[in-house]
Homo-oligomer: A and B are copies of this chain.
Amino acid sequence: MARITIKDVAARAGVSYQTVSKVLNHQGNVSPETEARIWEAVQESGYRPNVSARNLRTQSSNLIGYAWQRSLDDSPRPILDQFLYDAISTAEQHGYHLLTFLVDLKDAAGVPIYKELYDRRQVEGFILADTNHNDPRIAYLMEQDIPFASFGRANDDWDFCWVDIDGRHGLRIVVDHLIEQGHRQIGLLTWPEGSEAGAYREEGFVDSLRNAGLEVRPDWILRGTNTVQFGAEGMQHFRARPYDERPTAVACVSDVIAIGALNDANAAGLCVGQDIAITGYDDIPMAQYLTPSLTTVRQPIVAVGQRVVDLLLQQIREEPITEKGILLKPELIIRESS
C-alpha cells in the first residue's frame, strides 16, 4: 500500500492539493460544497498528514523532552510517575507529545544532550523533575536560553519557571500536629544535605519547633538515603539512646523512610501511635494499609503536572508568563501512627 498524500486526496476531490491543505487547517475561503467533497475524499482515502513534512514546513515538532532518570537509590517514585502521567495528559490536550531520553547525571558531562535535542529541533522545550540546589541542568538550560519548566525549585536567585509543593509548610503542619498531640521530643529522618526538597522540609521542621518554643536538637536529626533501610536504621539509632534522651515522635521526609521506621518499631515491640509516633510524607497508596496506618502528607500532584506543562507552553509560544514560580500547599492526612 503506497502512502497516501494530500495530492491523492486533491485528485479524488478534484481540487488543487493546496486547497486540501486549507481545509485541513481550517483556514481560507472554501465553499461548503468543496469542503464537504474534500472531507469525504479524506475519509475514503484514509489520508493522514505526514508529521515530518508538516514539522519541516511549520518549523515545529510538537514534542516536549523529558529526561528519564534511574532512581538513584532504587526507591519507588510514585510521585514522579503520577506527575509524568498528568504532564503527558496536559501536553496531549495541547497537541504535544513527550519524548523521553536518558541523561547521565553522575557527571555533568551528560547535560549537553539537552541542547543537542533542542538544536536539532527535535523538541521545543523540556520538563524537569527532581531538581536540586545548583542543579547543573537548570544552570545549563538557563544559560543556553532553552525553554523549560521544572517540578521543583533550585537556587532562590535563579530566574526560571517552576512549580513546587511547599515542603516547608508540609513539615510545619506535621510537627504542629505532633506538638498538639503532646509530643515535646521530636526527631527527623531526612535526606543528605544538598537536597533541595530536604532543605525546605527541614526548615519547616525547625520553624514549627521554634514556634512552639522547643529546642532543636541536632542529634535528633538523622540523614540518609531514601530507602526503607535507612528508616529502620534511623529508628534503631533512636531506640538505642537512653529513654529520656530519645524522641517520642519521629517525622520522616518520605513514606518509604517511614515504612522502615515503622517496621523497626513494630519489630521492637513498640506500639506505634501509642508508645511512639511516626509520620511520613507523600501519601503513597500503601500508606493507609500499613499497620498502623501512616499519618502523612498528601501532595497535589495533578495540579503540578498541568501547571508545569502550561508554563512550558507559554514559553514556547512566547506568550507573556503569568507567574514564574508557583508554590502549592500540601495537606496533612492524619491516621493511626501519630
Q: Which A residues contact B (CB, under 8 angstroms)?
A: 46, 48-53, 55-56, 61, 63, 68, 70-71, 73-78, 81, 84-85, 88-89, 92, 97-102, 116, 119-122, 227-229, 232, 256, 259-260, 263-264, 266-267, 284-286, 289-291
Partner of A289, one of B78, B227, B286: B227
| Cβ–Cβ contact B120 & A227, under 8 A | no
**From residue A263, how far is it (CB to closest CB) to chain B in Å?**
5
**From residue A3, how far is it (CB to closest CB) to chain B in Å?**
8
The answer for the CA separation of A121 and B51 in the assembled complex, in Å, is 6
| Cβ–Cβ contact A120 & B51, under 8 A | yes
Partner of A56, one of B48, B53, B264: B53
| Cβ–Cβ contact B289 & A267, under 8 A | no
| Cβ–Cβ contact B49 & A120, under 8 A | yes
Nearest B residue to A4, CB-CB: B119
Nearest B residue to A78, CB-CB: B76
**15 residue pairs bridging A and B, Cβ less than 8 Å apart:** A48-B116, A48-B120, A50-B120, A51-B121, A51-B122, A52-B52, A73-B285, A88-B102, A97-B99, A97-B100, A98-B101, A100-B100, A228-B286, A228-B289, A266-B291
In order of increasing CB-CB distance, the 8 nearest A-B pairs are A52-B55, A48-B119, A52-B56, A74-B285, A228-B289, A267-B291, A229-B289, A51-B122
| Cβ–Cβ contact A61 & B56, under 8 A | no
With A46-B119, A50-B56, A228-B289 already in contact, 5 other A-B pairs whose C-beta atoms are closer than 8 Å: A52-B61, A70-B85, A76-B76, A227-B285, A263-B289
The answer for the CA separation of A103 and B78 in the assembled complex, in Å, is 20
**From residue A118, how far is it (CB to closest CB) to chain B in Å?**
9
The answer for the CA separation of A203 and B50 in the assembled complex, in Å, is 47
| Cβ–Cβ contact A88 & B61, under 8 A | no
With A232-B289, A286-B259, A289-B232 known as contacts, the answer to whether A88 contacts B101 (CB < 8 A) is yes
Nearest B residue to A260, CB-CB: B289
Nearest B residue to A84, CB-CB: B68
Q: Which residues of chain B have C-beta atoms less than 8 A from A55's C-beta?
A: 52, 55-56
